[in-house]
Amino acid sequence: MRRSERGMVSIMTTMVLMIVISLTVLGFAQISRRNQREALDRQLSTQAFYAAETGVNDVRQIIRARADAGSAVPNKTTCSDTGGGVYSLTPNLDTGTVVKYTCVTVDASPNILRYNDVGTTSIIVPATSASGSPFDDLTFEWRTKVPGSPPAGCPTGLGFPPASSWSCDYGVLRIDLVPIGPGAFTSDSLRDATMTTFAVPVSSGGTNAISYQPSTANPNNATAVRCTATSCRLTINSLTSSSYYMRISSLYRSVKLEISGTNAAGSQLEISGAQAVIDSTGKAQDVLRRIQVNVPLRSTSQNELSDFAIQSTDSICKQFSVMSGGYASSTASAPGDSRLCSPFTVTP
């Protein structure tokens, strides 16, 4: 019998095409499964993030309630720690326990206080050494919130130009610092002990450290602070108290601010009374998300009182009279003008 090999090429071609098509289908199936898994992971990641935020909010409510009641805020050092029963939490967020926060810890006395948005509305910062050891210095480090190449454009002197002329990416940090010691605290002691300084960022020269000095003894309270491409840093040293109150604002630019303190031995101190650091981990099925936030012990850190003695949407003119042997002032308005304006007069 004579063998016939007709059709072998067709069979081989068909087999190769089948293999190629099978590999292509498998590849598309793998890509489809991968995309499906990525979409599911994104969904689960979002759920886990919200679960972690829920843990933060649950703990934050407990902290606020205790702070408003004047009670101490305890630490929560481990996932199972309840802080003496203070942190009674419900971590499961659904009946199937698929979405929950698995671990929340609380540091009620962090080493560093962090504020993400300090602007013209001041923040109030109560800072007390958790150990009772007096502060030897407090360090303020602020960073820009706008893109750029700091410290390019920062001034070379201590002038305060109009806001439209300010080209520096850093703001001028105003710090009002007052020690809170034992015993009676009066308006006179507040006035006599408060240190006010305007930390002006400069691109060259300047300093990074000044000594504590009440403003009554140092009326020239503007300080040129040497800045780098990443931050401005000012340390106020020669402190003696274990508790201080601060009012801080930033002129021209909003900034991110970090505050830390050390004792006379140079050891970093834990700061109580201002913030707590909450570390929360959320879980959705097999996906975990962890977040860490600094929260104020009270409802807000912003100054709830006015930062100014007088505030107006229009210009304000002062009226003074200075005379030999006395001083007088008047609030009479200039004719035809609703503002408090009249010429400054000196009577010999």
CATH number of 110-272: 2.60.120
Max mean pLDDT range (167-171, 254-258, 304-308): 254-258
**Between residues 34 and 195, which one has the greater pLDDT?**
195
**Between residues 276 and 328, which one has the greater pLDDT?**
276
Give tens-digit pLDDT for 293-331.
999 998 888 887 878 777 666 667 766 666 666 555 554
pLDDT attached to residue 249? 95
Give the chain's mean pLDDT. 84
Report the C-alpha dihedral over residues 341, 121, 73, 183, rounded to 10 degrees.
Answer: -30
pLDDT attached to residue 301? 87
Average pLDDT over residues 95-103: 84
* Distance separating alpha carbons of residues 317 and 55, to the nearest angstrom: 52
Average pLDDT over residues 111-117: 94
Give tens-digit pLDDT for 197-217.
999 998 888 899 999 988 777
* 334, pLDDT greater than 70: no
**Where are the chain's structural domains?**
110-272, 313-348
* Distance separating alpha carbons of residues 63 and 298, to the nearest angstrom: 8
Q: Give percent above pLDDT 70 in the chain.
A: 84
Query: Taking Cα atoms as reference points, which of 45, 46, 59, 73 lies closest to residue 292?
Result: 59
Give the distance from CA 205 to its chain's centroid.
27
**Between residues 284 and 342, which one has the greater pLDDT?**
284
Confidence label for 189 from pLDDT (cuts 50, 70 and 90): confident
What is the SS3 assignment for 140-171? EEEEECCCCCCCCCCCCCCCCCCHHHCCCCCC
